[in-house]
Amino acid sequence: MIEWTDIGGSERIVAEAYDAEAETIYVRFPNGVEYWYAACPPHVWEAFTAQGQSRGKYIADHLNHKPRGRHGG
């Protein structure tokens, strides 16, 4: 089961999660849509969640170039 962490202060996403075993980042957008981004080793997760890092910019610059898809329904 994915353990989501709510994000405050981001206009682009409202929650995030990481599956270290699968090296997959999960993101929930304000409209409720959830996406997964694969091929994300721990250093990518750490960069994505670094203090002061714009999640939206990181998604656009780095995660959108990785295997990804809609999560859930």
Which pLDDT score, from 0 to 100, does residue 73 have? Answer: 53
CB contact set of 1 (below 8 Å; sequence gap of 6+)? none
Which pLDDT score, from 0 to 100, does residue 9 have? Answer: 82
Which pLDDT score, from 0 to 100, does residue 72 have? Answer: 81
Which pLDDT score, from 0 to 100, does residue 11 have? Answer: 86
What's the number of domains the chain is made of? Answer: 1
Q: Mind listing the pLDDT tens digit of every residue in the chain (73 residues)?
A: 799 999 988 889 999 999 999 999 999 999 999 999 999 999 999 999 999 999 999 999 999 999 999 998 5
Spatial separation of the C-alpha atoms in residues 23 and 43, rounded to whole Å = 10
Which pLDDT score, from 0 to 100, does residue 57 have? Answer: 95
Write out the residue range of the structural domain in which residue 37 sits.
5-71
